[in-house]
A and B are shown apart, each in its own frame.
Chain A
Amino acid sequence: MFVDYTYILFDNTNSPLTWTDATAASSDEPESLCNEFVYFFHTGDGTTAIDDSIFTVDLNAKSTVTYSEDFALANAPGTYVVHVDVWHKDHKPDTKQTVIYTVTFIDLCPTATITPSVPVDQSYVLRQLKGGYVFPAFTSDIAYCPFEYTYSVLPASPIIKSVVVDFDGTIDGDAVAPDDYQFTWFNMDVNYAGTYTITVTGTLGVTAPITDTASFELKLIHPCEVATLTADASIFQVVHPRGPAKNIAWTIDTRVTSDIEIGVVCGPIIVEFIKDPATPEVAIDADVFTDTRTGAPSMSFDIETVDFAKVGTYPMLMRAYYQNYPLVVDTDQFNVQIRDPCAPPAWDSSLPTLVDQEYILLAAGKTYSVLSDFTSIQIPSFCPMSLDYIAVKDGDTANPDKFASLITFDGTLDSGATDGVFKFEELVDF
Chain B
Amino acid sequence: MTVTATAGTTLESTVELKFLVTIVDPCSRATFTVNTLVDQTYVLSDPFKDYTYTPFTVDPAYCPVTYSYTAVVKSSGVAADLSTAVTLDGLPDTDAVAPDDWTFRFETANHDLILGYEETYTISLVATTTGVNSNPGTFDLLV
Minimum CB–CB distance from A418 to chain B (whole Å) comes to 15
- Tell me, yes or no, whether B21 is within 8 Å of chain A by CB: yes
> Do residues B20 and A356 form an inter-chain contact, with CB atoms below 8 A?
yes
- Tell me, yes or no, whether A281 is within 8 Å of chain B by CB: no
Residues of B within 8 A of A430 (CB): 25
CA distance A131 to B117 in the complex (A): 153
CA distance A374 to B19 in the complex (A): 13
Minimum CB–CB distance from B24 to chain A (whole Å) comes to 4
Contact digits for B1-22, partner A, Cβ 8 Å, 1 yes 0 no: 1111111111111010111111
Query: What is the interface residue range for chain B against chain A?
Result: 20 to 34
Query: Given A370-B3, A383-B9 in contact, is the A357-B24 Cβ separation under 8 Å?
Result: no
Q: Which of A352, A385, A398 contacts B6 (CB 8 A)?
A: A385
> Do residues A355 and B9 form an inter-chain contact, with CB atoms below 8 A?
no
> Do residues A347 and B23 form an inter-chain contact, with CB atoms below 8 A?
no
- Tell me, yes or no, whether B105 is within 8 Å of chain A by CB: no
> Do residues B3 and A387 form an inter-chain contact, with CB atoms below 8 A?
yes
CA distance A140 to B68 in the complex (A): 150
The binding surface of chain B is classed by DSSP as strand
- Tell me, yes or no, whether B60 is within 8 Å of chain A by CB: yes
> Do residues B25 and A361 form an inter-chain contact, with CB atoms below 8 A?
yes
Selecting from A57-65, A296-304, A336-344, the interface stretch reads A336-344
- Tell me, yes or no, whether B92 is within 8 Å of chain A by CB: no
- Tell me, yes or no, whether A354 is within 8 Å of chain B by CB: yes
Interface size on A, residues (CB 8 A): 45
Residues of B within 8 A of A346 (CB): 13
Residues of B within 8 A of A373 (CB): 17
CA distance A402 to B25 in the complex (A): 13
> Do residues A363 and B26 form an inter-chain contact, with CB atoms below 8 A?
yes
CA distance A377 to B5 in the complex (A): 11
- Tell me, yes or no, whether B49 is within 8 Å of chain A by CB: no
Binding site for B on A (CB under 8 A): 308, 340, 342-347, 351-363, 370, 373-374, 377-378, 383-392, 394, 398, 402-403, 406-407, 422, 424, 430
Binding site for A on B (CB under 8 A): 1-13, 15, 17-26, 29, 60, 62
